[in-house]
Copies of this chain bind each other. A is one copy, B any other.
């Protein structure tokens, strides 16, 4: 038996075990080639799986020790020094289904369940997850397969039940920086009295997720009991979904999907709907932004996506409405948690300087959700939403929810480093590339540094003179400042032309 040791290395969503090359009990090199090992300890029913790294330094692990990375040590949940044994991991049987999917076959309900179960139990390497995702992406999934995958993702996690007939939710498929409408929509809906217990995600590769932005103002890591208490009192909340273990397989798939820039239709729908169903939603508004640098480039593709959402929603008894919105540029001015939270607070407190596109889009989305209420007359949702916002009731509701979740106490490092990106010629802004703007904000340190990010000064349609500030980068660390300013010098994401662009004033297409 080996003695367990915690090795303080954070290996980012991959379990790693450390074994000394001269370990007298095991032949380390043979194990390594076999890819994964199982770590067993008395009292644990299921072994923990990990990739093996071989160590040649007794200070890291001694020859009679088994080291585990921070993640793996946490999963094993035992004290240092306990006896552990290791064995080659049995390849998961569900991989055979993945190979059949690679070969172009259609998988059944049980196969998707077993795949999700094995992924949840960490039996798949990242390579194997990538293989599964590519196989699903390229072949596409049959509609039924999207249903099976969604169901498997729901069934392998926890589900919330709010005990009411109408539990509303909204979701944007993503890709538009600054698009923080949820933080405006939720308090409007809750102020109206509808139940909107919103769980959101943190950013993975984007400069901010809704949970990251809300966290600037309030605690977002609530237990399910705490969530229920907030919602009971205020009809709304905005928390991080991670603590609730809703469709946890989705999080693992996303951790591979995002760095691979994979976003297949079937996976996207299964990912979004599994989370919503697990969160106990009954009525869902989905926002699909369309634009050349958005996730969806054409209306035709948005329409196909809408049909798939509706098909899967119906099978689960989840009522879905889809809106297609303008995804041609970022929404609002701030990109990065604190800058986005500032925009949100400006809208909620009806300040003149509030970004009008964020305000208008939020009101329209809120209006659609309000019409889920049988007592709201068709077409009146927008006006009700605007009244709630303008009367200050949305702001008050948000303040109450922030207080109930716990006001954020943590002091954040100031973003003392500023850099203004200016127009290299005069003309009109024709386009702002969402992907590049998001990347610059990420390089600047968002979302890890809450105050880092971008403030946009010019939007599509604006007239600019050479030398005018297009946007300003904020960073806390010199290294982030350099990475982001260097990238923005190579690609500032703005297209400026001599004549004004033909703009579309409709937020919804």
Contacts and interface: CB of A to CB of B under 8 A. Distances in A.
Interface of A: 7-12, 18, 21, 25-27, 29-30, 32-35, 52-57, 59-60, 69-70, 87-88, 95, 99, 102-104, 125-131, 133-135, 137-139, 203-205, 256, 259-262, 442-443, 445, 448-449, 476-480, 483
A10 B55 contact: yes
A483 B86 CA distance: 10
Given A21-B10, A130-B127, A483 B88 contact: yes
A262 B103 CA distance: 11
A32 B12 contact: yes
A55 B9 CA distance: 4
A38 B20 CA distance: 28
15 contacts: A9-B60, A12-B54, A27-B445, A30-B442, A60-B60, A95-B261, A104-B138, A125-B259, A126-B126, A127-B256, A128-B260, A130-B134, A131-B134, A131-B262, A134-B134
Given A10-B21, A25-B479, A27-B449, 19 more contacts: A8-B57, A9-B18, A10-B54, A10-B56, A12-B32, A26-B477, A27-B479, A30-B448, A33-B203, A33-B204, A35-B259, A88-B483, A99-B261, A102-B137, A102-B138, A125-B259, A130-B130, A134-B134, A135-B138
A12 B480 CA distance: 30
A144 to B, nearest CB: 20
A154 to B, nearest CB: 25
Nearest to A128: B260
A103 B138 contact: yes
Contact of A259 (B8, B102, B127, B138): B127
Contacts of A127: 126-127, 129-130, 256, 259-260
Nearest to A479: B26
A128 B356 CA distance: 41
A71 B439 CA distance: 30
A138 B26 CA distance: 38
A463 to B, nearest CB: 34
Contacts of A27: 445, 448-449, 476-477, 479-480
A8 B479 contact: no
Contacts of A88: 443, 483
A442 B34 contact: yes
Contacts of A204: 33
Nearest to A127: B130
Nearest to A6: B57
Q: Which 5 A-B pairs have the closest CB atoms?
A: A8-B57, A8-B56, A10-B54, A127-B130, A134-B134
A11 B59 CA distance: 17
A26 to B, nearest CB: 5
A53 B70 CA distance: 11
Contacts of A29: 448
B53 A260 contact: no
Contacts of A54: 9-10, 12
A205 B33 contact: yes
A231 B345 CA distance: 78
B59 A205 contact: no
Contacts of A128: 130, 260
A456 B159 CA distance: 54
A8 B55 contact: yes
Contacts of A442: 30, 34
